[in-house]
Amino acid sequence: MTDAAQKRALRNYRLRQAERGIARFEVQALNVDRELIRALARRLADDGPEAMQARTMVQQIVSGDPPHQGGILQALRRSPLVGANLDLDRAREEGRRVDL
């Protein structure tokens, strides 16, 4: 009797996962990478901003394409300080004399 209840619970769990878009699949890898792959799968299943970042990085590594250039410049252009007209000029000083 417990066997049928466990099977039903497992079937219901897998149906709920499928409704979320989570699929079960098997991968083959080195035993030392087991926890790494599980952690990556958990991160990707969350589907948040960290998942998107991880997905992008893994796709770049797997595809073999070089990393995208200009990321820092794009980040600076998105800064909230763009157009704030900050005065970043510093007064020029000669310094002090040091007796050696």
**Residue found by looking up tokens 């900050």 in the block:** 86
Here the tokens at position 11 are 């079937």
Assigned domain for 51 exists: yes
Number of independent structural domains in the chain: 1
Here the tokens at position 6 are 């466990």
pLDDT at 16 over 90: yes
CB 37 within 8 Å of CB 27: yes
Assigned domain for 52 exists: yes
pLDDT tens, 60-99?
888 876 666 777 887 888 888 888 888 888 888 888 888 8
Whole-number pLDDT of residue 14 = 93
pLDDT tens, 27-66?
999 999 999 999 999 999 887 888 898 898 888 888 876 6
Degrees, nearest 5: CA angle 41-66-27: 25
Model pTM? 0.53
Helix (H) or strand (E) holding 29: none
Assigned domain for 56 exists: yes
Residues 30, 15: Cα–Cα separation, whole Å: 30
